Amino acid sequence: MAAEDGEVAAGFTVTPWEVSGKVDYDKLVRLFGTTPIDKKLLERLKKHSNGTLHPFLKRKLFFSHRDLDVLLDGFEKNGEKFALYTGRGPSGRTTIGHLIPWMFTKYLQDTFNAELYFQLTDDEKFLIKDGLTIEDVIAFTQDNALDVVACGFDPKKTRIFADTEYIKTLYKTAISVAKKITFSTAKAVFGFKNDSNIGIIFFPAIQAAPAFLPSIIEGKPVPVLIPCAIDQDPYWRIARDVAPKLGFPKPAAIHSKFIPSLGSGGKMSASIPETSIFTTDSEDVARKKVMNAFSGGQATVAEQKKLGGNPEVCSAFQYFVFLFENDDAKLGVLESECRSGRMVCGDCKKMLADRVCKFLNEHQERREKAKDVINDFMVRD
């Protein structure tokens, strides 16, 4: 089914360049043809991390995969090492939504002692975003790379590269990929139209290329795992399609849901700054955004006390679930305090604002330190 037909049928849109509507993740798994993460797979992952499940797995933020079981088979049975590959399209400042796959990648790097390839697609963002100049994306690339380093990756095991600086290394692989993808496949997977510019039509080959780079660099087949939110999956469909034709292992992927915006729906997105928390927001700005967040509360304190709140539709509550309250018992108390009306939204948001500010302070400290070591991570041609 063509991407667009699928989107219309589903009543929401998820492409690498647009996420809109209320995403039904079960439907998306069926539409994209990915596999839900089941209990058996969670147990296997738990075993590799000393019997504990990463909070993002426990809370089902990472919910879907492609061939992660196959990758683990190789790792467990034959000690087959794998590499990690993830990235960022530098079109603006980094939000805490972008950090989700990177924080998870850091956990995977530590757990599996894996090399990481991190792509900054300055070319993609220049090609897709009206009004962004090359100079803009290059400035965002340098800025965003600091957030990547601030996640704590091991410099000895991490290569960060921007496409415009690393194209000589990527190009042979990218054109080999491109030669195997027809325009009709690219249209079906990405929804390209006659008025799409030809740069963006070629671009998927550039994002597929790093999935094969570990094999090229090591001179032998190296399995690759790609942690990302589910919007990036179309790229892996074509990468997996061409992999055997080029003699590379098919990349595996693990997908997250989207951290919601602080508004009344949709994902956190840098293009709507009022409802997004940026890693560089000051404490005042972040606090204000959280205090203005859409909540599941009633119109007045009196009504809240009488009727209680609706945590399932509350953006603030989702932040506790996904990022800011790891303790299940404490989360349960928060939920029942909300539902019973004993907790009013202002107090809940204040508690969330405190945690967000603490998180930002710590990230910003590491981000400052990243300025001194960034060149230990960057690779250039």
Contact, 16 vs 232, CB < 8 A? yes
Q: Give the DSSP H/E element, type plus range, for residue 9.
A: helix 3-10
Residue 211 or 348 having the CB closest to ligand TYM: 211
| Segment lying near ligand TYM (by CB under 6 A), choices 24-32, 93-101, 241-249, 367-375 | 93-101
Binder of ligand TYM out of 31, 189, 209, 229 (CB under 6 A) = 229
Nearest to 66 by CA among 239, 199, 309, 324: 239
Residue 220 sits at the vertex; the CA angle it makes with 216 and 222, to the nearest 5 degrees, is: 80
Spatial distance between the Cα atoms of 118 and 198, rounded to a whole number of angstroms: 25
Q: Does 108 bind ligand TYM (CB under 6 A)?
A: no
Handedness of CA 374, 173, 116, 240 (dihedral sign): positive
Contact, 204 vs 191, CB < 8 A? no
CB of 88 to ligand TYM, least distance (A): 4
Who contacts 357 (Cβ-Cβ below 8 Å, separation ≥6)? 283, 286, 287
Residue found under tokens 């892996």: 236
Spatial distance between the Cα atoms of 303 and 323, rounded to a whole number of angstroms: 29
Binder of ligand TYM out of 6, 55, 97, 309 (CB under 6 A) = 97
CB of 176 to ligand TYM, least distance (A): 17
Q: Does 124 bind ligand TYM (CB under 6 A)?
A: yes
| Cα distances (angstroms) measured from residue 153 to each of 33, 84, 114, 202, 374 | 31, 12, 10, 30, 11
Q: Does 16 bind ligand TYM (CB under 6 A)?
A: yes
Q: Does 228 bind ligand TYM (CB under 6 A)?
A: yes
Binder of ligand TYM out of 151, 242, 268, 356 (CB under 6 A) = 268
Q: Does 100 bind ligand TYM (CB under 6 A)?
A: yes
Contact, 10 vs 24, CB < 8 A? yes
Nearest to 257 by CA among 14, 53, 61: 61
Residue 231 or 335 having the CB closest to ligand TYM: 231
| Segment lying near ligand TYM (by CB under 6 A), choices 31-39, 74-82, 86-94, 306-314 | 86-94
Helix (H, G, I), strand (E, B) or coil at 309: coil
What letter would DSSP give residue 209?
G
Contact, 111 vs 57, CB < 8 A? no
Residue 243 or 338 having the CB closest to ligand TYM: 243
Near ligand TYM in 168-207, by CB under 6 A: 207
Spatial distance between the Cα atoms of 12 and 14, rounded to a whole number of angstroms: 7
| Segment lying near ligand TYM (by CB under 6 A), choices 41-49, 119-127, 298-306, 372-380 | 119-127
Q: Does 208 bind ligand TYM (CB under 6 A)?
A: no
CB of 317 to ligand TYM, least distance (A): 16
Residue found under tokens 């962004």: 132
Contact, 110 vs 153, CB < 8 A? no
Q: Does 148 bind ligand TYM (CB under 6 A)?
A: no
CB of 225 to ligand TYM, least distance (A): 10
Q: Does 370 bind ligand TYM (CB under 6 A)?
A: no
Spatial distance between the Cα atoms of 25 and 38, rounded to a whole number of angstroms: 14
CB of 368 to ligand TYM, least distance (A): 22
Residue 18 or 362 having the CB closest to ligand TYM: 18
Helix (H, G, I), strand (E, B) or coil at 252: strand
Residue 66 or 267 having the CB closest to ligand TYM: 267
Binder of ligand TYM out of 259, 293, 344, 353 (CB under 6 A) = 259
| Segment lying near ligand TYM (by CB under 6 A), choices 84-92, 147-155, 334-342, 361-369 | 84-92
Binder of ligand TYM out of 250, 267, 349, 367 (CB under 6 A) = 267
Q: Applying CB under 6 A, which residues contact ligand TYM?
A: 16, 85-89, 97-98, 100-101, 119, 121, 124, 207, 226, 228-229, 231-232, 256, 258-259, 267-268
